[in-house]
Amino acid sequence: MQFYIADTFTDSLKKLSNPEQKTNKDHCFDLQINPSHPSLKLHRIDRARIKILDNPGE
């Protein structure tokens, strides 16, 4: 599975407190390592403004 981290994600991450940043970074890392982990749920993004998310190779 390929993961893409949007600039808006990193910008939003900067607005969080340090403990919140760490929690979010940990969850993103866990999702990359083991996407089927029972504590993590991944949902498809509907109506994304960036169409490259649907076809990243194009």
Instruction: Tell me the DSSP string of the chain.
Output: ------HHHHHHHHTS-HHHHHHHHHHHHHHHH-TT-TT----PPPS-S-GGGT-TT-
What is the dihedral sign for C-alpha 4, 43, 8, 52? positive
Query: What would the pLDDT profile of 27-50 be if each residue is shown by its tens digit?
Result: 888 888 887 877 776 666 677 666
Mean pLDDT of the chain: 77
- Give the pTM: 0.55
